[in-house]
Structure 1
Amino acid sequence: MPKSKSHSLLSPDLLGRLERLELVSRKVFRGRMKGERRSKRKGESVEFADFRQYVPGDDLRMIDWNLYARLDQLFLKLFLEEEDLHFFAMIDASDSMNFGDPTKLHVAKQLAAALGYVGMCRADRVTVTALGPEGRRAPVLRGRSNLLKMLDYLDSIEPGHNVSLHDGIKEFSLRTAGTGVAVLISDLMDKAGYESALRMLIGRRMDVFVMHVLSPEELDPPLRGDRKLIDIEDGDEAEITINAYVLEKYRDTVRQFIGSVKQFCSRRSIVYIPVRTDTPVETIVTKYLRERGVVR
């Protein structure tokens, strides 16, 4: 794969910084394979954690006989268990994401690649997938040696998969088993709404994060005069005269929309993360995502 392809998403400097990070889960998931993650559950690894009193039926091999000789009581040695995590990054690849400079889709790919690489460096299972038909080809990856395979898949994602968020998440849920950390990267611009899609992820007992990607032009449009507005996804048209009053009403509508998304997420323990496309991905990952508990 040409170097330029990987560099367009993750710079060598950022790759080095990502290797020092770790994905964070607010829930305890039972991993399928041993990984490099310290679990809150107690297991049988080599790192000691604590003692507890013996209960009939416990494994006699775990009894601390030295402690028994001193205290004349049976105690079991507990150890921290290492487990893997399954990380899912779901990218909205609808036409509305193909807007801005850089486009929202490009930024979404960068964020998915960065978080996916963090997971692979910690031996987590990683699935980076587009919502819609492209998602059927998404591989399950493990280990940093799969970086180029992930970047190849991301590079193949093109805008235009105008499935609703509901249908995209439904298809994802049907083809994906298990649970884990789920990050939806989207502008949430769906006439059918985003609520049912997020409810499905919660119903799967996922640890859900929403990265709401918007461009500066959407937050504060540099438009004036008579315009014909065309919905890029369904072709709906509207003619409008844009003046200071209309722009202020638009900004107020955008603020209300963002506020409603934040409130919806807050009430359901979903972490909401606003992303502006003019913010460097390095800043988003190493500063904002750390502050919001996605990585550490």
Structure 2
Amino acid sequence: MKALKFFFINLFFVVALISCSSDSSDDGNSNVLDPLTAYEEFNISYGNDSDQVFDLYLPPNRNADTKTIILIHGGGWTTGDKADMNAFKDYIKTQMTGYAIVNMNYRLADANNQPYPMQINDITTVVDYLEDNENYYTISDDLGFIGVSAGAHLSLLWSYAFDNASQVDMVCSVVGPTNFTDPAYLNNSNPILQEVLDTFGIDMTTEFLEEVSPYHQVTSSAPPTILFYGGQDPLIPTTQGTDMRDKLAELNVTHEFTLYPNEAHGWIGLNLLDTTIKLHSFIETHM
């Protein structure tokens, strides 16, 4: 009788153990962050390179519909850091509290590493990481992009040509290059403009320049796009903005365009306030 009792006690513990193991692995529910509280994590690694890291900011009271805004810094594809996007991050955290934020670094180009497709691949890896962990973080797979300068170019290019799952709800370009076949680049002796073009390396064929140009990759299914440019920008010809605007209009893609005639490669004061108000409204409308 004692042996039988011992057998049933052991059987109970085995069943309980199996049951607990089953519960803990079911949809990963035992390993999910509390969606009611805010969560921040810095320098999350998504690759082997030291630049392949991002910061994550999750809002409180999030759910499976919470969308993520990805911030992509500028720096001519060769320099820059996610800290350069802290003003955008801080604004979204305090004024648009329903969104998750990813502020990412990406591998920087040098003599041995061209920016394309390396940096586009980094964005894809981050997007895949978020999708793989959306249950853990309690977020949706819907995205928005805000990029500045080279980061704006990468944001547009990924959204137009590499968003195979149609995850992007909106994309913002602040002074981003859009068309490397623009005569303002190709026929200009300005060394600053030539440096922008030369960054992409030895393949300067028209086919390659079109491949890396959002202007040539955009289609009628592109996500809503908002563009901001300065009329006195020494790095980005005005036509990079106006031609992109016209192409979006031709394709009937929802878009907004603002040109600040007296601004250069960035601005402060009332024009920055204008950018902030317009971007805020655009995000709330389309995400």
TM tier, shorter chain?
Answer: 0.3 to 0.5
**TM-score, with structure 2 as normaliser:** 0.40
Q: Which has the higher strand share?
A: 1
